[in-house]
Structures are given as C-alpha cells and as structure tokens.
C-alpha cells in the first residue's frame, strides 16, 4: 500500500451517522488499496446544538486518526457535504481532492471512484449500498468493546432468547399530535401486532431518548416489556446499540441508531420491522427487492426518507415494512445545524 494514497474521512453526527461515515470511507479505501485516516475533530467543532463527540473508539476500527495537518480544517466551511453552493466560495489550498455528498439521493459515483492520490471524503453516506460488497469487513471492524458493568451484562443475558425484541422509539419532535418527524404510535401498534403473530411469547426491550414517554404508546402489559434507560449520555449510547444487537428481532425507528443496532445483530434468523421505505433508490437497495417486500408508501418526502429499513438485508431472514402513520404525511424540514441528515 502506498501511503500517498489516502482516504481521509470526516466523521460527524450521532453514533449511527458516524458509523455510516466510517463504513463508506472504509469501502473506498479497501477497493483502492488506500490508507484510511479518520478526521475525528472537524466534524464536531461547529456542532453547537448537539455538542456531539467522536465515539467510534468503542469499536475495533483499524484506522489511525488524522494529524492536525491532515484534518479538513481550516477549510471545513468550504467543503460542506449538504451545501452545494459552498463549493463555489473557494477551493482548498492543499493538494488533495475532495469528494463530498450533496443532497440525500444515493450517489453511485462513490462506488466507482478510483484514486491516485489522497482524497477527503465528506458526507453522511446513509445507505448499505455504499459498503454492501465488503459487508464482512465492516462487520469485522464493528466489533463492540463489551461493556463491563453488571447492569449491561445482566440485561444482555436476558436478551439471549429467540423471543427478545428490541424496540426503538426516537423523538425528533416534541411529544405531541402535531409532531411530523416522530414515527407515530400507530406504527408501533401495528408493528407489535405483527411481531405477536410471529413470536407470541415476545418480550420487548424498549430504547428511547425519552423513556418516560414510551410505555403508554406500546399498548402492552407491564410484564411484557422492559424500558432500558440506564445508559445515560452520548458516551454510553454505544452500550444501548450493543444491547439492541443482542436481540434476534427488532422494531426500529426512522433512525440511523436502531438501523445499526439491527444490522449488527448476528442472529441467523433475524427479523426486522421498520417504517416503510419511501424511496428505495435513495438507499442503494434495488427497486425489485423493495417491491418484493410490499412497500406501498406514498408519503411526502421527509429529511429521513433516505434512511430506510429497506437496506437491512443480507444476513436478515425477514424484513417487514409498515407505514409510519397513515393519518398524516411527513414534511421536509430545514436541515439541522447546517449538517443535514438523520441524527442517530
């Protein structure tokens, strides 16, 4: 491998988005026999709203961190993956090319990019299509450093059963009937009804950023579900994802976080129920494959449509798509913090 050929990727967002950034960059490095270098700084220094930090150190990732001279600063304002007009303001002064993702559509160009020198990779790259052909490599990289505390260990033991179901409830808006980005209670009701037909003895392990708000929307007796809320703060979020991956069945939200929790599950009989995909071509999944799974959603686009459960496949036996909510469509919002995308 020549050290002159590098893929320097800027990592940003929550843990789910960070994993998508990494996976796409890892694949680009592998097919080009290039060194993968991780910029773990510049994707977070302007995140004044969420104040997130780099959290991929909880995995066994074989890549080094970028040196100060290799990071995207001081021209991170120039290269903005979600702002096409920003590239017209100037060009990076360094002798390195940049590859940025703009918009939400699946960008097939990344799959065919051949490198002769160092390149900066910037974008969220939310789709399994960006790394599907090296799935084994990604799974090998994304082995969790196992939590050592007794509470997580004990919870993981309870999940070692075919009837363990992870449920993710992600609140993007306030808890109200006017919220348009949250997956509605109707979706979860339908998902649980479907899961009950598959696994009548199922026990539901519920993960949420607002655990106090989820019990009533599930419509289950208290002895049928457990709300997992002991992992506090972003630094411990990986433990929730680790626990999700212990389950063999999943009801995910429109969130990159539970997408990865389900994808990383090693169960050979994995079943995933997810919000119906809106635009399969934005995920890298084939249209025929999406039709075969019964997608009929005609909801208006949302800022989360390009993250759909349709791309959870491969080792997954069954994927079921259910409408997010038939009572109302979603709306497109202004992208948050100038960064765009779904925050896991």
Residue 64 clears pLDDT 70, i.e. is over it: yes
| Digit-coded pLDDT (tens) for 18-49 | 999 999 999 999 999 999 999 999 999 988 88
Is 14 inside a domain boundary? yes
What pLDDT score was predicted for residue 104? 65
Same domain, 124 and 253: no
For residue 328, pLDDT beyond 80: no
82, 103 contact by CB (below 8 A): yes
Q: What are phi and psi for residue 336, nearest 5 degrees?
A: -75, 135
pLDDT at position 81: 38
Please check whether residue 1 lies inside any domain of the structure: no
Please check whether residues 216 and 121 belong to one and the same domain: no
Q: Residue 115: inside a domain, yes or no?
A: yes
The mean pLDDT value of the chain amounts to 76
Taken in order 75, 77, 79, 84, the sign of the CA dihedral is: negative
Note whether 17 and 110 are same-domain residues.
Answer: yes
Cβ atoms of 129 and 290 closer than 8 Å: no
Span of 25-29, 111-115, 206-210, 213-217 with lowest mean pLDDT:
213-217
97 and 15 in a common domain: yes
Same domain, 18 and 97: yes
Q: What is the reported pLDDT for 298?
A: 29
Is residue 164 domain-shared with residue 264, that is, in the same domain? yes
pLDDT in tens, 261-320: 999 999 988 999 988 763 333 333 323 222 223 233 323 223 333 232 222 222 333 455
Over the stretch 134-177, which tens digit does the pLDDT of each residue have? Answer: 999 999 999 999 999 999 999 999 999 999 999 999 887 665 55
Strand 203-208 and strand 249-251: the pairing is unpaired
Helix (H, G, I), strand (E, B) or coil at 118: coil
Encode pLDDT of 233-249 as tens digits: 999 999 999 999 999 99
Per-residue CA distances from 182 to 25, 219, 254 (Å): 30, 18, 8
- Write the CA distances from 320 to 6, 96, 116, 299, integer angstroms: 39, 43, 42, 17
Asked which of 78, 106, 141 is the last residue of a domain, the reply is: 141
| Residues 244 and 329 occupy one common structural domain | yes
- The CATH number assigned to the domain holding 187 equals 3.40.50
Examine the domain organization and report whether 328 and 282 are in the same domain: yes
Examine the domain organization and report whether 184 and 135 are in the same domain.
no
Same domain, 95 and 204: no
Tell me which residue range forms the domain holding 258. Answer: 150-338
Torsion sign across C-alpha atoms 217, 304, 112, 288: positive
The pLDDT of residue 290 is 25
113 in a domain, yes or no?
A: yes
Structural domains counted in the chain: 2
| 344 in a structural domain | no
The band of 183, judged by pLDDT with boundaries at 50, 70 and 90, is confident
Q: Are strands 35-39 and 164-169 parallel, antiparallel or unpaired?
A: unpaired
Asked if the structure places residue 343 within a domain, the reply is no
Q: What is the pTM of this model?
A: 0.77
The DSSP code for 326 is S
3-state class (DSSP) for residue 9: strand
**Helical packing angle, 15-31 and 256-263, nearest 10°:** 60
CB 165 within 8 A of CB 192: no
- DSSP H or E stretch at residue 196: helix 185-198
Quick check: 208 and 168 in contact, CB under 8 A? yes
CB-CB neighbours of 85 under 10 Å: 8
Query: Same domain for 310 and 279?
Result: yes
Q: Return the residue matching tokens 């065919």.
A: 112
Measured at the CA of 273, the angle between CA 327 and CA 201, to 5 degrees, comes to: 110
**220 lies in the same domain as 334:** yes
Task: Determine, yes or no, domain membership for 249.
Answer: yes
């Amino acid at each position: 491998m020549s050290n002159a050929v590098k893929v320097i990727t800027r990592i940003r967002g929550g843990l789910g988005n960070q994993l998508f950034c990494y996976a796409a960059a890892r694949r680009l490095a592998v097919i080009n026999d290039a060194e993968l270098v991780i910029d773990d700084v510049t994707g977070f220094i302007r995140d004044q709203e969420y104040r997130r930090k780099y959290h991929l150190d909880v995995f066994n990732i074989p890549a080094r961190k970028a040196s100060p001279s290799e990071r995207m600063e001081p021209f991170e304002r120039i290269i903005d993956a979600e702002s096409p007009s920003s590239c017209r303001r100037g060009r990076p002064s360094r002798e390195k090319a940049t590859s940025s993702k703009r918009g939400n559509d699946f960008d097939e160009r990344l799959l065919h990019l051949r490198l002769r020198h160092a390149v900066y990779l910037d974008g969220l790259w939310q789709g399994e299509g960006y790394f599907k052909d090296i799935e084994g490599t990604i799974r090998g990289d994304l082995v969790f450093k196992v939590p050592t505390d007794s509470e997580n260990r004990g919870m993981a033991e309870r999940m070692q059963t075919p009837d363990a179901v992870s449920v993710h409830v992600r609140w993007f808006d306030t808890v109200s009937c006017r919220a348009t980005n949250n997956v509605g209670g109707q979706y979860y009701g339908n998902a649980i009804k479907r899961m009950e037909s598959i696994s009548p003895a199922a026990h539901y392990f519920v993960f949420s950023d607002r655990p106090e708000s989820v019990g009533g929307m599930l419509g289950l007796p208290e002895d049928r579900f457990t709300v997992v809320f002991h992992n506090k703060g972003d630094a411990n979020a990986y433990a929730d994802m680790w626990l999700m991956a212990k389950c063999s069945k999943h009801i995910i939200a429109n969130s990159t976080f539970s997408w990865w929790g389900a994808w990383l599950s090693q169960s050979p009989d994995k079943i995933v129920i997810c919000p119906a995909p809106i635009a399969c071509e934005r995920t890298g999944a084939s249209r025929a494959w999406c039709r075969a799974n019964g997608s009929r959603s005609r909801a208006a686009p949302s800022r989360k449509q390009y993250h759909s459960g349709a791309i959870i496949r491969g080792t997954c036996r069954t994927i079921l798509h259910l409408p997010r909510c038939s009572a109302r469509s979603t709306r497109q919002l202004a992208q948050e913090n100038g960064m765009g995308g779904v925050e896991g």
